[in-house]
Amino acid sequence: MDIESSNSNSRDDKSTSVRIAVFGAGGRVGRAAVAEAVARGHRVTAVVRDPAVHGDLEGEGVALVRGDATDAASVAALAAGHDAVVHAAARLDVPSEEYFTAAAKALVAGLTEAKVRRLLTLGIATTLETAPGVRLMDAPEFPEAWRAFAQGHVAEFELLAAEAGPELDWLMVVPPLDLNAEAERTGAYRTAVGTVVEGPGRIGHADLALALLDEIERPRHSRVQLAVSL
């Protein structure tokens, strides 16, 4: 298991301001990513399906726009001129595999056209390995409905691996099952590549956003599932 540690409070470097587009900015993780990016002095395009519902997102450093992560033309138009994209969107009214494969195809095509180099997309902990070749979702007692949702992220990962060219540096960031929007920010997290992170198995949205922005400012992982937990 490849485990690392990070503590934002110990960083003494100052990163150059970048432009980041966040698809799914109206969700809890998306909002946390927007807030973390703005706090670091970056410029953010907050992409949502209905700007009228998320008007509170717009403010200094944040442009609120309508967009669709499953539409390559929309992705290309909105991502043009940005340095990185975060895909934090999900749909519960569309079958998981249908949505996440459509989004992966559109993101690969749209970001390649827009010449955006870095993509971070969110995964789900049930797709991580607990032992070599054994994922949480493979357990016999694992609920079938949950397995179907997890399979969407598996298909997304496989599609990114197969279709994203070398010009797109992508990473799937995977939080633990206990993801708490109300948890206070600790400024620290640990990571593991492709496997569950040993320990409490929980993280708050603010610390997850910290990991996302760290990987944008100083990319350390590429084309893998990066598990993030306290």
Give per-residue pLDDT as tens, 121-137. Answer: 999 999 999 999 999 99
pTM above 0.85, yes or no: yes
- How does residue 181 score in pLDDT terms, banded at 50, 70 and 90? confident
For residue 12, what pLDDT is reported?
A: 42
Of 149, 226, 148, 158, which is closest to residue 194 (Cα–Cα)? 226
Average pLDDT (187-201) is 95
- Least confident range from 40-49, 166-175, 176-185: namely 176-185
Of 79, 62, 73, which is closest to residue 23 (Cα–Cα)? 79
Residue range(s) defining the domain that contains residue 177: 4-229
Q: What is the mean pLDDT of the chain?
A: 93
- Contact between 5 and 190 under an 8 Å Cβ cutoff? The reply is yes
- CATH number for the domain harbouring residue 20: 3.40.50.720
- How does residue 11 score in pLDDT terms, banded at 50, 70 and 90? very low
- Region of 194 (left: φ > 0; alpha: ψ -120 to 50; beta: rest) is left
Of 171, 180, 129, 119, which is closest to residue 150 (Cα–Cα)? 129
Is the per-residue pLDDT at 53 higher than 90?
A: yes
- How does residue 1 score in pLDDT terms, banded at 50, 70 and 90? low
Give per-residue pLDDT as tens, 62-114. Answer: 999 999 999 999 999 999 999 999 999 999 899 999 999 999 999 999 999 99
- Contact between 173 and 117 under an 8 Å Cβ cutoff? The reply is no
At 36, which amino acid appears? Answer: E
- How does residue 16 score in pLDDT terms, banded at 50, 70 and 90? confident
Distance, in Å, from the CA atom of 90 to the CA atom of 77, rounded to the nearest integer, reads 20
- How does residue 169 score in pLDDT terms, banded at 50, 70 and 90? very high
Distance, in Å, from the CA atom of 50 to the CA atom of 63, rounded to the nearest integer, reads 14
Helices 28-39, 205-217: inter-axial angle, 10-degree rounding: 50
* 185 burial level (CB within 10 Å; 0-12, 13-18, 19+): middle
For residue 9, what pLDDT is reported?
A: 44
Is the per-residue pLDDT at 4 higher than 80?
A: no
Structural domain total, the chain: 1
